[in-house]
Structure 1
Amino acid sequence: MNLIVTPGESYAVVRPEGRLTAPGVPRLRKAVDELVDGGSTRIVVDLSGTEFVDSSGLGALIGGLKSARLAGGDLRIAAATEPVRRVLKLTNLDRVLREHPSPESAFDGD
């Protein structure tokens, strides 16, 4: 899994590419923790390049959401691929991690 982190003025974007599974989870967690610790508490996880997510990947997303919210921010997901969307729906996590069409739209109106 590749991980691209793009800090921004109003929010940061984290883009996992490939399969978000146990081997890549520590890198995702570290990236989110570093953003939150650095003061970027509004984070968008761009899932447009993520072809699959397993339970450890879902756990990392929920952990990142918790970290961001505890720091006064939020973590949102954007542009999920169909396989990822199916897993979110099957686990009912689509109710917790609401998907946005694009990273740019995730914090519109906030």
Structure 2
Amino acid sequence: MSTDRPTSPDRQDTLEVHVRSLGVGRSLVVADGDVDLRTAPQLAGVLQPLLLTGGHRVLMDLSGVTFLDSTGLTCLITAYRTARRTGAHLALIAPSERVRHMLALTGTDQVLHSYPSLDTVPEEPELPDPGHTA
């Protein structure tokens, strides 16, 4: 399995990010498209303010992410570190096959909690393993 970007002559690097409130202190961030050098700052600009609120729970739907490069991966790791520092919680929802592959390849899947769907996320967040750092 390759993590190479799909090629198409009319393909453009795009990322759409939407935030939806799931109640007090819970947000769903939905990302669709490529998370790469050009678009990762857009995703970080949405995630970081949400994670700066201690105790806030951010669920990130990555089912529509078609490409994740090292910059995108760094964005996720930075979000994880911000959450740990502030007491917020970050979990990934339904990462696409490409994203799952990149997370597994780098070992990041051992640090970031991931759930197959929004319905499978427990009401109480799982506590991070203090022995794991990213």
- With the length of structure 1 as denominator, give the TM-score of the two structures: 0.88
Higher relative contact order, chain-length normalized (CA < 8 Å, sep 6+) = 1
Residue of structure 2 in register with 1:62 after alignment: 77
Work out whether 1:98 is the aligned partner of 2:113.
Answer: yes
- Residue ranges of structure 1 left out of the alignment (5+ in a row): none
Query: Which protein has the bigger helix share?
Result: 1
Letter in 1 for 2:81: K
Structure 1's consecutive aligned runs of 4 or more residues displaced over 2 angstroms after TM superposition are: 36-41, 103-106
Largest Rg, 1 or 2: 2
* Distance in 1 (alpha carbons) for counterparts of 2:87 and 2:74: 20
* Mean CA deviation greater in 78-87 or 64-73: 64-73
Q: For 1:18-54, what per-residue CA distance to the aligned partner results, in whole angstroms no more than 9, with x for missing partners? A: 1111111111111112223456721111011111111
Partner residue of 2:57 out of 42, 45, 53: 42
* 2:63 counterpart SS class: coil
Work out whether 1:13 is the aligned partner of 2:61.
Answer: no
* Distance in 2 (alpha carbons) for counterparts of 1:18 and 1:25: 11
User: Percent sequence identity over matched residues?
Assistant: 32
- With the length of structure 2 as denominator, give the TM-score of the two structures: 0.73
- Kindly report the root-mean-square deviation, in angstroms, between the aligned alpha carbons of the 2 structures: 1.7
- Residue ranges of structure 2 left out of the alignment (5+ in a row): 1-14, 125-134
* 1:22 counterpart SS class: coil
Work out whether 1:3 is the aligned partner of 2:1.
Answer: no
Aligned residues: 109
Letter in 2 for 1:24: T
Question: Contact between 2:29 and 2:60, CA under 8 Å: does it hold in 1?
Answer: yes
* Distance in 1 (alpha carbons) for counterparts of 2:26 and 2:118: 9
Q: For 1:53-109, what per-residue CA distance to the aligned partner results, in whole angstroms no more than 9, with x for missing partners? A: 111111111111111222212111010111111111111111011310113433x14
Residue of structure 2 in register with 1:77 after alignment: 92
